[in-house]
Structure 1
Amino acid sequence: MDGSFTLTLQIVITTLAGISAQVLAELIKVPSIVFLLLFGILLGSDGLNILHPHELGVGLEVLVSLAVAIILFEGGLNLELRDLGRVSGSLRNLVTIGTLLTLLGGGMAAHWLSEFPWSIAFLYAALVVVTGPTVISPLLKQVEVDRQVATLLEGEGVLIDPVGAILAVVVLDTILNSDAFPLEIVSGLGLRLGIGAAIGALGGWLLGLTLKKASFLSEELKGLVVLAGVWGLFGLAQTIRSESGLMATVVSGIVLRASSIPEERMLRRFKGQLTVLGVSVLFILLAADLSIASIFALGWGSVLTVLVLMLVIRPISVLLCTWNSTMNWRQKLFIAWVAPKGIVSASVASLFAFLLTQQGINGGEAIKALVFLTIMMTVFIQGLSARWVAQWLKITSSEATGAVIVGCNELGRLMGRLFQEEGESVVAIDTDPEACQKAREDNLRVFESSGLDHDVLEEAGLESIGTFLALTSNGEVNLVLSQRAVEEFNPPRVLAIFPQNPKTNLTASKTNKAKVNPAFITQLPIKQWNQYLKDGQVKLGRTLLKVEGLSFQIAHLQALIRSGELVPLLVRRKDRLTVVKAGEEWQAEDEISYLLHDPRPQLLKRLSGGTQASRLALEKLPEVEEIPIASNVAESTVEQMTQSIQ
C-alpha cells in the first residue's frame, strides 16, 4: 500500500509541476520546455530529491512510448497539406539531405570534440537530427513569424521526428549487432518507414470514414475513439516491426486531417490538450532522472560539439536544402538559427541509455547527458532568442504589409487607394462585375470571385499579406469571410464590419476571440457611408495627434465618432500603417486618416467653388492635407475643424 501510494504521489507531483511550468511559460511568453527542464531538475535527485522516476521501472518506458505516439499524431493532425505544397521541396530536402548532413556532421563533432567512440558518436548524432514539434509549435505561436517560415519549421519538426527516432534505432541495432551489413541497415530503415506509412495511411483513412459514418457517436466519444485508434495503430505497427509505430502515428494524423471530418477542430483541441499533458509529465520525469554531475563530467569539448551543431552544421544544412527555394536570406537565416530539440530526443536517449547499460556497453549515460545538454543549449539559446532574431530580421507576421479587401464598394475602393498611395500592395475581391470594373479603373488588382474561395485567396497572396479586410454590405458574410481567413491563412490583422442586429453582435463578440476585429467603429452603417461617398458628401482628412493638448484632441475625436460625423480609417503609428479598430486607443504622434460627413448639397458646393470630395479622394490622394483635430473645444464646428481637399 505504501509503495502504490508513493508512486501515486510521484505522478501527482509530476503533473502539478508540469502544468505549473506550462502556466508560467504562457504567462512569461517563453517556450514551456524551459520551465519543464528547470522544474524537473529541481525536483529530481540533484535538487529537492522529491521525484524518483526510476521507481516507475518499465512503466516509464510505457509512458514515454504512448505519450510520444500522441504527440506525433497531434503534429500530423496540425499539418496542412496545401501549406506543405509551398515548401515541399525545401521540406523534403531538410528531412532527407538535412538529416544525413546532421548525422555525419554531428557524429564527427562528437567523436573529435567530445572524444566519443565512432559508434557512440553517431548514435548521439542520430538522436539529435530531430527538432521537435513540442518545442517548435509553442515557439512559433509566441514569435509569429511569416507563414512560409512557420510551415517549413512545423513540417520539419513533425516529419523528422519519426525519421530521426527510426534512424537512431537503426544505429543502435548496428552497435548491438556489429556484424550487420550496410545493406541490412538501409533496408531496415526503409522497411520501418514503409510499414509505418502504410499502416498509418490505412488507419487514418478508416478513422476518418468511421467519424463521418458513425453519426450515433457523441463528440466526446469520437475523441476517445480516435485516441484508441491511434494507440491501436501504434501497437500494430510496433508488433509488425519495432519502431515503425512512430511513422504510423504521424501519417495517420496527416491522412485524418486531409479527410476533412466535421469534428476536426474538436479533435485538434482534444489532442492538443493531451499533448500538453504528455509533454509536461514526460519532461518533468526525464529531467528529474538526469544527473547534473554527468553533464559537467562531459567537459568543454561537449559544449563545443553542441555549438558546432548549432552554428555550423545547421546553417550549412539549411543553406543547401533551401538553395532553390523562393525564401529570402532573412527567412533562411531564421530557419538556420531555430532548431531546438525536444521530447523525442530526450525520451529515446533515456531509453537507449538503459538498453546500452543492460547490454554492458559503456557510453549510455554519456549519450543521455550530451543529448540533454544539447536540448538545454538549443532551447535556452535559440528558443529564448527567437523573438528578437525574428524582429531583427523583420520576418514576424506583424511586419507584413499590404491588404486583401473583400468588397469593391465605394468604401472598399477608397481603402484600396489609401493603401496603394502608401506604397502597399492591395488585392480587391468581389462577385459584382460592375464593382470590380470600377476597382480596376482605380488601378486596383481585382479578382471577380467569392472571398470564400481558398484558391483565390491563395493566389491573392493572403499567406504573406498583413491585413484582411471584409467590407461587403452584408455583415453576416463579413463574419464568415473573416473567420475563414483566420482558420485557413491566419493573417496578422483580420478586420470586418460587423452587422448591427443583437444576435449577430453576439456572434461577432465570439468571433473577436478568433482574431477578428471590428473595423473603424462599432456598428458602422456601411450602406449609409457608401451612399455618402457616392453622393460626394464626405471630406477626406488626415491629422497628427500631438503631445500638447492630446487629451482634448482625443476627446474631440471620440465625440465626432459618437455623433456619427467621422469615421477613422487608417492610423500610422511608429512607421506602421494599420486599419483602425473599433475602440482604438489613440496615442501621441498617431497620424489618422479619416472620413468626415459633409451634408452640404452638391449645388451649393459647386457655387462655392468646391469639388466633389469623394472623387477627389479617389483621384488625388497625394494632395491630402494635414487637417488638425481641434484641441480647443471652441473650435468644435465641422467648418472650423476641417478643410476640403482642393
Structure 2
Amino acid sequence: MATAETAGLDPVLAFSLVGALGVGSQWLAWRLRLPAIVLMLAAGLIIGPLTGILDPRTQFGGMLEPMIAVAVAIILFEGGLTLHLRSLSDAATGVRRLVLIGAPLGWLASTGALHFVAGLSLEASAVFGGIMIVTGPTVIAPLLRQARLARRPAQLLQWEAIVNDPVGALAAVLAFEVVIVLQTATSAAHAIQQLALGITVATVLGLAAGWGLVRAFRQAHVPEFMKVPVLFVLVLSVFALADSVLHESGLLAVTIMGLWIANSSLPSFVELRRFKEHATILLVSGVFILLAAGMSLDVLRTLDWRAAVFVAVVILVARPLPVLIALAVTNVAWRERLLVAFTGPRGVVLVAVAGLFGERLVQIGIEDADRVAPLAFALVAATVVLHGFTLTPMARWLGLVASRKPGVLILGGSRWAVALGETLSTLDLPVLIADPNHAHLRAARAAGLDTFFGDILSESAEHRLNHVAYEKLICATDNDAYNTLVATDMAPEFGRENVFQVKRVQQSSTRHALPPTLGGQPIGAGETFFEANARLAEGWEFRVTELSEEFTLERWRETHPEAVPVADLGPNGTLRLLGPETPVKETAGTRVVALMPARPERAAGQA
C-alpha cells in the first residue's frame, strides 16, 4: 500500500527505521516482559499496510529480495552452529525421539493441516510444513525462565528447540528444492538430475568451506581480529556459489557449513557463535519488520475462518500428536508428555524462512504460496501469545514447576557460600552450589542443599543443570581468576546485572592484576573470599529480617549498625543481590538478608 509519502521516503531513512523498530521492539518487550515477536508484528503492520509509512518494495526495489535472502542465509547458518551431533547422541532418550521421530511426524502433520485445512497446494504445504516443526530457542527460552519449569520438561523443550531449529530449516530447504526442480524440469529424469546436482554441490561446498575455515583458523592462517569478517565473507560466498547452480541450494550449503563448524571443536567457536547470535538478532528483527510491513491489506484479508481453524488444528493436533507418539514407551511421565505436547511456540525464524520461500514459490507459478507469509504470522502470533499466558498455569496445574521464585546458583562450596545458601533456602528460593572439588561440597550436602560436582562451564553442566531455574549467579571460590572467568562467560546468559563475585585480591603488580572490566559485580560489603569467610570464623552469621511499617529500614539500621546487607526479597517475590553501593528497598514486607555479628547469647556460649 504505497502512497506519495511512501515513494518519497529516503531508502537510508527507511533502513534505519526498520532497524530502530526491530531493536526497539525487542528492548520494549524486555522492559515490559512481553513476547518481542508480538511487538515486532504490530510495529511492522502499523508502518506498512495500516499507515503506508513504509513500503519495502518501493524503498528498496530490486534489492529487497537479495537482502532478505542473505539475511535468511546467515540466520540458517547460525542455526547450524547450534547443532552439536555429540550433544544429540548424548541427549536423553526423550530429546532424541522428539528429533528423530517427532520432527518427521510433525512435518507430515503440518503439511496435512496446511493442505486439507488451510487449503494450500501440496507444494506450498510441503515447504511450509517443514519449517513449521521449528519451535525456536529464542522464543522458548524466555518462556521457560518465566514459568520456572521442573528440570526434565524444561530440558526437553529447550533441546528440542535448539536441535529442531536447523533440522526444520533443512526440511524446508529440501522440500523447496524438490518443488522448484519439479516445476522447472522438462522431464522426471531432468528433475532428478537437477535435484541431485543441487544437493551434491550444496553439500560439497558447505563441507569444503567448513573444513577449510576450521583448518585455516587452527593453523593460525587468519588473525584473531579477522576471523569474524572472514567467516561472514565465506558464508556469503558459499551461499552465492551454491545458489548459482540451483536456486536456494545456497541455504542448504550454509546450513551444512554451520553444522561442520559446530562439530569441529574449534577453539574460537564460542566467540564466533556469540557474535553470530548478536548479528542474527539484528537480522531476524529486520527481516520480520520488512515482511510484516510488506504485506498488503488484500493479503491480510486472506486470513479467514480457514486460517483460524488451521491455527487451532496445529495447536491441538499437528503439534501434540507427533510429540505424544514420539515420547510413547519412554520414561517421560505422562504429565511431562502433556506439557511438552501442548507447548510449541513458533518464532521469527519460521516467519523469515516462510516469507522468503513463499515469494520464491509465487515466482515459479504456485500462486497460493502468497498465503504462506500471512499464515506464518498468524501461527507465530497465536502460539506465542497463547503459550506466553498458559505455560505457567498449565505447569502449575500439572505440578511441573520447580519454583515460583527466582533461584540462585552459587559457585564454590565455602563456609560463606553454604551459610548464604542455607539462608536463601529458608525463603523458599531454589539454591544450587557448584564446585569442581568434590570435598568442598561436603558441607553443602550435609546442609541439604542441591549440589553439582564439576566445572560449571563444562558440557556436562550444560546438559545436567536446569539453568532456567536460576536467575542469579554468585562466583565465590577461592580462585579469583576462575571466578572472573565464569562470571565473564556466563554474563551473556544470566545478564550482567545478575552476575556477582567476591572481590578479587588486590595485586601489587600490574603483571598479575586482572582488568576491572572482567568479572561480575561486587556482593555484600565487597570483600574478598578470605575476608568474607573470616567473618563467619569470628562468629558472624546470615539472618533474615522482615521490614514492616513499624520496623522500618531506618530502625533496622539503628538496631543492627554493623549489619552487611547481601540481598533483599520484595513482597512480590523479587530477589535482588546487593553490592556495597546498592540501597535496600524500604517497602514494608521486604525481607532483608544480611551478614551480622553473632547474637550476644550465642557469642557468650561460644566463649
- Distance in 2 of aligned mates of 1:556 and 1:202: 70
- What amino acid maps onto 1:566 in structure 2? A
Q: Distance in 2 between matches of 1:37 and 1:465?
A: 29
CA–CA separation in structure 1 for the residues paired with 2:462 and 2:280 = 30
Alignment of 1:138-149 (within 5 A): 138-140=138-140, 142-143=142-143, 145=145, 148=155, 149=157
Alignment counterpart, residue 533 of structure 1, candidates 531, 536, 541:
536
Aligned to 1:383: 384
Equivalent position of 2:172 in the other structure: 164
User: Any conservation in 1 of the 2:182–2:191 contact (CA below 8 Å)?
Assistant: no
Q: What SS does structure 1 have at the residue aligned with 2:419?
A: helix
**Which residue of 1 is the match for residue 20 of structure 2?**
20
Q: Say if 2:227 is the partner of 1:222.
A: yes
Which deviates further from its counterpart, 500-509 or 329-338?
500-509
Contact kept in structure 1, 2:82 and 2:163, CA below 8 Å: no
Listed as ranges, the matches of 1:194-343 within 5 Å are: 196-214=202-220, 217=223, 219=225, 221-239=226-244, 242-261=247-266, 263-264=268-269, 266-268=271-273, 270-272=275-277, 274-297=279-302, 299-323=304-328, 324=330, 326=332, 328-329=336-337, 331-333=339-341, 335-338=343-346, 341-343=350-352
CA distance in 1, matches of 2:443, 2:59: 74
Cα separation, 1, equivalents of 2:423 and 2:375: 50
**Aligned pair partner of 1:345 in 346, 351, 354:** 354
SS at match of 2:592: strand
* Counterparts in 2 of 1:570 and 1:62: CA distance versus 1, 3 Å: closer
CA distance in 1, matches of 2:298, 2:48: 13
Supply the AA of the counterpart residue of 1:550.
T
Matched, 1:567 2:573: no
Alignment length, in residue pairs? 574
CA contact (8 A) 1:342 1:375 kept: yes
Contact persistence 1:417–1:444 (CA under 8 A): yes
Q: Does 1:461 align with 2:469?
A: no
Aligned-partner Cα distance in 2 for 1:105–1:210: 43
Distance 1:129 1:555, change over 3 A: farther
**Match of residue 63, structure 1, among 67, 74, 78:** 67
Per-residue deviation, 1:594: 3.6
Q: Is the 8 A contact 1:338 1:386 kept in 2?
A: no
What are the Cα deviations for residues 142-168 of structure 1, in whole angstroms up to 9, with x where unaligned?
A: 545366233322332233113213213
Paired residues of 2:568 and 2:593 also in contact (CA < 8 A): yes
* Aligned residue among 479, 482, 487 for 1:477: 482
Supply the distance in 2 between the matched residues of 1:303 and 1:426 (Cα, whole angstroms): 44
Letter matched to residue 218 of structure 2: K
What CA distance in whole angstroms lies between the structure 1 residues aligned with 2:458 and 2:513? 26
Could you tell me which residue of structure 2 aligns to residue 595 of structure 1? 595
Q: Distance in 1 between matches of 2:459 and 2:53?
A: 57
Aligned to 1:72: 76
Whether contact under 8 Å (1:234, 1:249) holds in the other structure is yes
Q: Do the aligned partners of 1:416 and 1:428 also contact (CA within 8 Å) in 2?
A: no
Kindly provide the CA deviation profile for residues 442-488 of structure 1, in whole angstroms up to 9, marking residues without a partner as x: 56676776x46625645873646525433223444322233344568
Instruction: Tell me, yes or no, if structure 1 residue 498 matches structure 2 residue 503.
Output: yes
Q: Which moved more, 1:72-81 or 1:17-26?
A: 72-81
Provide the residue aligned with 2:545 in structure 1: 543
User: 1:375 is aligned with what amino acid?
Assistant: A
The verdict on how the C-alpha distance between 1:262 and 1:8 changes in structure 2, with shifts beyond 3 A counting, is farther
3-state SS, counterpart of residue 129 of structure 1: helix
SS of equivalent residue, structure 1 residue 473: coil
1:319 positional shift: 2.7
Residue 53 of structure 1 deviates from its aligned partner by 1.6
The answer for the alignment partner of 2:130 in structure 1 is 129
1:323-345 deviations in whole A, cap 9, x for unaligned? 43758347515633546631000
- Alpha-carbon distance in structure 2 between the residues aligned to 1:25 and 1:94: 32
Q: Which residue of 2 aligns with 1:618?
A: none
1:21/1:39 contact within 8 Å kept = yes
Amino acid at match of 1:311: L
Kindly state the Cα deviation for residue 78 of structure 1 after the two structures are TM-superposed.
Answer: 4.3
Cα distance in 1, alignment partners of residues 10 and 100 from structure 2:
40
Contact 2:311–2:382 (CA<8 Å) still a contact in 1? no
Name the % identity: 22
Aligned letter for 2:530?
Answer: K
For residues 496 and 338 of structure 2, what CA distance do their matches in structure 1 show? 19
Which one scores higher on RCO, CA 8 angstroms, separation ≥ 6? 2
Q: In structure 2, what is the Cα distance between the partners aligned to 1:427 and 1:209?
A: 39
Bigger shift: residues 393-402 or 293-302: 393-402
| Aligned pairs for 1:387-402 within 5 A | 387-392=388-393, 393=395, 399=404
Q: Per the alignment, do residues 13 and 31 of structure 1 end up closer, same or farther by CA in structure 2, a change over 3 Å counting?
A: farther
Corresponding residue for residue 578 of structure 2: 581
SS in 1 for 2:544: strand
Q: Distance in 1 between matches of 2:464 and 2:85?
A: 19
How has the CA–CA distance of structure 1 residues 194 and 140 changed in structure 2, closer, same or farther, with 3 Å as cutoff? farther
Question: Is 2:364 the counterpart of 1:367?
Answer: no
Q: Which moved more, 1:36-45 or 1:347-356?
A: 36-45
1:368 and 1:53 map into 2 onto residues whose CA distance is 15
Q: Name the CA shift for 1:107/1:462 in 2 (closer, same or farther; >3 Å).
A: closer
Residue 154 (structure 1) aligned with residue 153 (structure 2)? no
Over 3 Å counting, the alpha-carbon distance change for 1:584 and 1:262 in structure 2 is farther
Q: In the alignment, residue 552 of structure 1 is paired with which amino acid? A: E
Q: CA offset at residue 391 of structure 1?
A: 3.6
SS at match of 2:589: coil
1:548 counterpart SS class: coil
| SS in structure 2 at match of 1:499 | coil
| One-letter amino acid matched to 1:585 | V
Q: 1:174 to 1:404 in 2, by over 3 A?
A: same
Amino acid corresponding to residue 479 of structure 1 in structure 2: T
Instruction: Indicate the SS of the match to 2:343.
Output: helix
Aligned partner letter, 2:588: A
The runs of 5 or more residues in structure 2 that have no matched partner are: 1-5, 149-153
1:511 aligned to which of 495, 507, 519: 519
The 3 A distance-change label for structure 1 pair 529 and 458 is same
Task: Please tell me the residue identity of whatever aligns with 2:363.
Answer: F
CA distance in 1, matches of 2:594, 2:215: 53
Say if 1:545 and 1:191 are closer, same or farther in 2 by CA, change over 3 A: farther
SS at match of 2:130: coil
Q: Deviations over 1:214-243 (max 9, x none)?
A: 456361x33221112112222343455554
Amino acid in the other structure paired with 1:347: L
Secondary structure of residue in 1 paired with 2:500:
strand
* C-alpha RMSD of matched pairs (Å): 4.5
Checking the alignment, whether the CA contact within 8 Å between 2:37 and 2:381 is kept in structure 1 is no
Structure 1 stretches of 5 or more lacking a match?
A: 1-5, 357-362, 613-646
TM (norm. structure 2) is 0.77
> What SS does the corresponding residue of 2:364 show, helix, strand or coil?
helix
Q: What is the SS of the residue equivalent to 1:335? A: coil
